[in-house]
Structure 1
């Protein structure tokens, strides 16, 4: 898969290299402890898919400019802040096989670093009067928080319908990818209707991305580093499970809901539930929905003239649903 990522990056290689430097600069402060933490963040970064979306969407309309770099930095600041806060909330001590910030520096510092990164994202837009970008990131931060809280509320009752599930993943995951795509075209002076279209493209892509992530829970061959069945153990209701329970007999539904509520740490019962989801067509259904989202996103892309950026975004859409991690 690494080669696909390299292929996707081809039209924006120079921009991605320069972005790393600009992103690091956007985090700098006058506090040595903070600079030590932000240096650690830069050295343990992931694939940086989100900035790639910003640059590729900007290139659909023209060239990458100073505003595009600021937009990409804002997105990465928000994304990093939410990961730092998530690790505190989830009491997680590892992130991408590195120790998490809360593991190395304790919760209070991790929360404050996350707050600092969010404030830097806002300041980056206000300092340069990028008020259109500020509107996008403010909406994004609000929606991501709403999505997390909606999921927590529903997890207690285990009564998530398919519609509620889509709303949760739209807010939790897709809204940030939508912001990347919208910011990319806004940096090249897109009008409102085009910005809305690219926001829709990003939303559809993000929905497919999250459904793929949820499918990893059922795949023994996954190399994401996430143990099989972890969503079930954490009582997360994802699409394969929601579909399966909706179609199940009353007896089966009660039995498997009981597994999730009371026996979610019983390896034998969790394996049994995973097998039931597979046999009931839960995975096939989720894969079908994921591919529909992907196709709708491709249809939007095909409205743009052919270009290297458009080709890379097509590759990105393939990568989103074919990735192994």
Structure 2
């Protein structure tokens, strides 16, 4: 990382830290709700859950729930339960993903499946889901409960779409965007919706914010996919891991659509054959980079950020609106 990139990264981390500090009290109360919800007299479950919650991550999703409520001027107890519900549902999806992907490390720590095995990890993930629904019920808002239910379906369908895209060799951007909208953006959209709902805003009032969150979520996944093209142990997954699992993401999709036809066809044949070895994965990564795939992914994120700003124009200037802008900039420029 160059000195300029390093300085920009720490500036953006400061932006995230500023948002977290603005919401320190609310995030603390929300995390207390999560701990209380997940506590059980069962010694083994309590041990596994407590160990898992030791590292919280950036908590971007519950931050969005609370920011959405703050934008409408009413961060109340129902907002905190909505944030807790979404954070537990999100973590459930991560725990299950680690089982499916056979992941051994997350956030620099061993995953539940790597320590305790897949059987227990699946049960812990299910336990998180059940407690997420319980937290949603405590809001007393049917729209929030329905959103949690719909979100669970969207996350599952997004993963299934990704499997189908890989199996059926869909090498087009619309299929990719549709998949990440379900897989990732749906969670961000529901963060905005649930926070605003719990704050008492109407659907008409929060509709632009949900559209903003959709674009933010799409960019989150695109940036996550870019990481796969670079070798950085801090990110937590090896280079080419997506390709190893048959997942073709935006940088490579752009290259396949815009490289010389014969070269692109050779790369498609390689992808269709599957079971790629390390040298073949390196060829595909170099192909994507050489044909402008990384630059295009950043271009698309910049386009989405500009579009998102127009949705924010529906709301008056405030520290909370500025926090949403800072969060978008952080998500695009983050290094892990």
State TM-score, norm by structure 1: 0.94
* Matching residue of 1:227: 238
* Matching residue of 1:286: 297
Deviations 1:84-120 (A, max 9, x none): 1111111112211211111222111111111111111
* Matching residue of 1:320: 331
Select between 250-259 and 18-27 the one with higher mean Cα deviation.
250-259
Residues 78 and 121, structure 1, Cα contact 8 Å, conserved in 2: yes
Q: How far is 1:247 from its partner?
A: 2.0
Name the CA shift for 1:222/1:110 in 2 (closer, same or farther; >3 Å): closer
Residues 178 and 200, structure 1, Cα contact 8 Å, conserved in 2: yes
Structure 2: how far apart are the matches of 1:73 and 1:183?
11
Kindly report which structure 2 residues correspond to 1:258-269, keeping only aligned pairs within 5 A, or say none. 258-262=269-273, 265-269=276-280
Establish whether residue 96 from structure 1 lines up as the match of residue 107 from structure 2: yes
Deviations 1:286-310 (A, max 9, x none): 1111111122222222321111111
Structure 2: how far apart are the matches of 1:282 and 1:32?
49
Q: How far is 1:198 from its partner?
A: 2.2
* Matching residue of 1:140: 151
| Structure 2 portions without partners, runs of 5+ | 1-9
Residues 263 and 269, structure 1, Cα contact 8 Å, conserved in 2: no
* Matching residue of 2:76: 65
* Matching residue of 1:105: 116
Kindly report which structure 2 residues correspond to 1:199-278, keeping only aligned pairs within 5 A, or say none. 199-220=210-231, 223-262=234-273, 265-278=276-289
> What SS is found at the alignment partner of 1:236?
coil
> What SS is found at the alignment partner of 1:213?
helix
* Matching residue of 2:67: 56
Residues 4 and 319, structure 1, Cα contact 8 Å, conserved in 2: yes
Establish whether residue 80 from structure 1 lines up as the match of residue 91 from structure 2: yes
Residues 250 and 293, structure 2, Cα contact 8 Å, conserved in 1: yes
Select between 123-132 and 305-314 the one with higher mean Cα deviation.
123-132
Kindly report which structure 2 residues correspond to 1:185-200, keeping only aligned pairs within 5 A, or say none. 185-200=196-211
Q: How far is 1:128 from its partner?
A: 4.5
Name the CA shift for 1:10/1:306 in 2 (closer, same or farther; >3 Å): farther
Structure 1: how far apart are the matches of 2:27 and 2:222?
27
RMSD: 1.8
Establish whether residue 13 from structure 1 lines up as the match of residue 21 from structure 2: no
User: In the alignment, which of 130, 154, 161 is matched to residue 150 of structure 1?
Assistant: 161
State TM-score, norm by structure 2: 0.91
Structure 1: how far apart are the matches of 2:105 and 2:235?
13
Q: How far is 1:232 from its partner?
A: 2.0
Name the CA shift for 1:247/1:66 in 2 (closer, same or farther; >3 Å): same
Residues 155 and 237, structure 1, Cα contact 8 Å, conserved in 2: yes
Count of aligned positions: 325
Structure 2: how far apart are the matches of 1:269 and 1:91?
22
Structure 2: how far apart are the matches of 1:117 and 1:65?
23
